[in-house]
Amino acid sequence: MLKFSFDVRGVIRQCVLQNRGGRAAFGSVELSITHAAQDLFLVKSYSRIIIANGFEPATERASTILNLLGHLIEWPSIYDLEKDKYRQVLYRAYVSEVFVPYMDPTEEWYYKTYFDCGEFGFGLSAVSLQPGVDCPNNAIFMDGFYAGQDGTPVKISNVTCVFEKYAGNIMWRHTETGIPDETIREVRSDVSLVVRSVSTVGNYDYILDWEFKPSGSIKFEVGLTGLLEVKAVNYTQASQIKEDEYGTMVGANTIATHHDHFLTYHLDLDVDGAPNSFVKTNLITKPVAEEGVPRKSYWTVSSKTARTESEAQLHLGLEPCDLIVVNPNKQTKVGNNVGYRLIPGPLASTILFRDDYPQIRAAFTDNNLWVTPYNKSEKWAGGRYVDQSRGDDTLAVWAKRNRRIENEDIVLWYTLGFHHVPCQEDFPIMPTLSAGFELRPSNFFDRNPVLKTKSPKPVILSCKP
Ligand SMILES: [Cu+2]
């Protein structure tokens, strides 16, 4: 039986993680929630979950932070079973900005180009989660606080939930079929730890999941749901529309406007320490030169380490490549640089003109990926005072300095995008549309890190004040 303690401003709660005859997938994770208003006001809550073979932060620092302007994951480290120690992966990760431009240029709509973090605040917009519905029955919940306008802490109950997720998936398996009269089968079920919160910014609800896998992968997923922004029209049939009305007729007299969602994540990786490099590995097709070989082509890799910011600004598309953050000072036993790979999600990039005013203010979406040297003041991709922004304090402006990023403490800025052409099923409330990306170990371990783990049995979490 494992214990979970929870401490919010002196209030201590004891929770017990009941292990019904099996073993938990996770061994030890620490979660701490900090709520900051522009670094001026802090309310800290602290919790500890003891679990196996999971992630643990460096002990004195937080692993999860809910900030006034967003939700942060801080200091996740992974326990390396073979090295018998915790190894750092990230310093901090969070959604830095969410750009939602609508595509109706008429006087009533043209200005609807929202910056959901900078103008509204993902933290301020965080909402309470409903047990058993927003999160599964085995979830535990944490309250959150933010600084009100007069500096007084404002509580949001059940703002974050943490749960083990077992969806019946396979972590790894193999059936060895090549041995006569013998079948060898090994299978491990896939159980991960999920930290979930929801921000409801006006009409939209963003479900933010951070999924930590025992294999070392961290998956970032966002689910879009809630209400579409609509306008009233005289039409009752789509066939009556002769000119561009900038959206889809989703009901009689109702048009839902075209728009985008771009979520820019701040990913401060510290892979086995702060000095890291960004390496882009291209896959290159080559002709077969040898005589008498039936093949005409093959592909191989060509890796290049980005030395300065401009070399790491990428517009991702169909070009096959691997995007890896390595620690050039640490190698595996066989000599590969330890690293973590970014596996992008669906690639929707901005298609507005670059000199369109909202796009100037949101120039941080001009690329899918940026890499910058860590700078304490560069937290919010859209700038510090976004609703007053003229676009002169964005990630795109900072990166013009073209600073050195090789073997430095670097930050990846990855933008996950959605072009949203509404359809009738999205109305009046859209079913959740999800997408995400993954940070996955790449030569970080000497071999499959979960080779010796066993499949866990069901675990029930209970919690009492
Ligand atoms: Cu949408």
Residues 368, 344: Cα–Cα separation, whole Å: 9
Ligand 1: distance of its center to the CA of 199 in Å? 14
Reading across the β-sheet that carries 230-232, which strands appear in turn? 230-232, 254-257, 247-251
Closest CA to 438 of 126, 185, 221: 221
Q: What is the pLDDT of residue 398?
A: 98
Ligand 1 centre distance from Cα of residue 171 (Å): 33
User: How remote is the CA of residue 165 from the centroid of ligand 1, in Å?
Assistant: 27
CB contact set of 433 (below 8 Å; sequence gap of 6+): 223, 224, 225, 418
User: What does the pLDDT read at residue 375?
Assistant: 96
| Residue 140 to residues 78, 131, 261, 412, Cα–Cα distance (Å) | 21, 9, 30, 31
Using the mean position of ligand 1's atoms as its centre, give its distance from the Cα of residue 259 in Å: 6
pLDDT at position 155? 83
- Separation of 27 CA from ligand 1 center, angstroms? 38
From ligand 1's centre to the CA of 260, what distance in Å? 6
* Beta strand spans in 150-305 (E): 153-176, 184-201, 204-212, 218-227, 230-232, 247-251, 254-257, 259-269, 275-287, 297-305
Ligand 1 mean position, distance from CA 32 (Å): 32
Gap from CA of 142 to ligand 1 centroid (Å): 28
Which three-class secondary structure state does DSSP give residue 310?
A: helix
Predicted local distance difference test score (pLDDT) of residue 60: 31
Q: State in Å: Cα 349 to ligand 1 middle.
A: 15
- Structure-token match 């109305």, residue found: 427
The CA 250 to ligand 1 mean position distance, Å, reads 13
Q: Is 7 exposed, middle or buried (0-12, 13-18, 19+ CB in 10 A)?
A: middle
Residue 344: the pLDDT is 95
CB-CB neighbours of 5 under 10 Å? 13
Which residue type does 217 have?
A: S
Catalytic site residues? 116, 204
Q: What are the residues whose beta carbons fall under 8 Å from the beta carbon of 451, sequence distance 6 or more?
A: none
Task: Output the CA 113–ligand 1 centroid distance in Å.
Answer: 12
The pTM score is 0.84
Give the Å distance between the CA of 433 and the centre of ligand 1. 9
- For ligand 1, a single-atom ion, the residues with CB < 5 A are 420
d(CA 274, CA 192): 26
Q: Could you report how far apart the first and last alpha carbons of the chain are, in Å?
A: 18
Distance from the CA of 351 to the center of ligand 1, in angstroms? 16
Which residues does 42 contact at the CB level (< 8 Å), separation at least 6?
Answer: 34, 35, 36
Please state, in angstroms and rounded to a whole number, the distance separating the CA atoms of residues 89 and 87: 7
Per-residue pLDDT tens, the chain, 465 aa: give them.
Answer: 222 232 222 222 233 333 332 223 333 333 333 322 222 222 233 333 333 332 333 333 333 333 322 344 545 566 676 777 778 888 888 899 999 999 999 999 999 999 999 998 888 888 999 999 999 887 878 777 777 778 788 888 998 888 878 888 999 999 999 899 999 999 988 877 788 999 999 999 999 998 888 788 889 999 999 999 999 999 999 999 999 999 999 999 999 999 999 999 999 999 999 999 999 999 999 999 999 999 999 999 999 999 999 999 999 988 999 999 999 999 999 999 999 999 999 888 999 999 999 999 999 999 999 999 999 999 999 998 998 899 999 999 999 999 999 999 999 999 999 999 999 999 999 999 999 999 999 999 999 888 877 776 554 555 444
203 C-alpha vs ligand 1 centroid, how far in Å?
10
Cα-trace Rg, the chain: 24
CA torsion sign for 422, 428, 431, 432 is positive
Contact indicator for 431, 192 with CB cutoff of 8 Å = no
Q: Which residues pair with 392 in a beta bridge?
A: none
Domains (range + CATH), the chain: 80-132+185-228+259-420+428-460 (2.70.98.20)
The alpha carbon of 430 and the centre of ligand 1 are apart by a number of angstroms equal to 9
Where do we find the tokens 């997923």? 221
Distances (CA, A) of 322 to 242, 266, 332, 339, 459: 46, 19, 19, 12, 37
Q: Are 121 and 68 in contact (CB under 8 A)?
A: yes
